[in-house]
Amino acid sequence: MGKPVAVCDRQFLVRSDLDTLTFAQNQVEQAEECLQKASAQDERIPLLVQLPGVAMLTAITILAALADVTRFPNAKKLGRVCRAGHSCS
């Protein structure tokens, strides 16, 4: 069996993990700010976020998946494609 980890080693590992988590949280915040600025130009985002369960990131994902919605002749066709689980793009 291996040698037990010393208390100072455990403390170092915990601090290191917390530093990594803090860094990742900051990266996520910066990415969200960037997405918010980029999506502010799209008038469809505020409409989508009014739907229950749809926040900014989900709205952006929906728009990215749909690409050009004008290729669907009507909303019913669009809904059918997405409900079927097919890629909407």
pLDDT digits (tens, 9 = 90+) for 19-67: 999 999 999 999 989 988 888 888 999 999 999 999 988 998 888 888 8
Whether residues 66 and 28 fall in one domain = no
Structural domain that includes position 73? 44-89
Do residue 5 and residue 33 come from a single domain? yes
Euclidean distance between CA atoms 78 and 57, whole angstroms: 20
Q: Is there a single domain that holds both residue 36 and residue 50?
A: no
pTM above 0.75, yes or no: no
Number of structural domains the chain divides into: 2
57 and 83 assigned to the same domain: yes
For residue 49, give the nearest of 80, 72, 40 by alpha carbon: 40
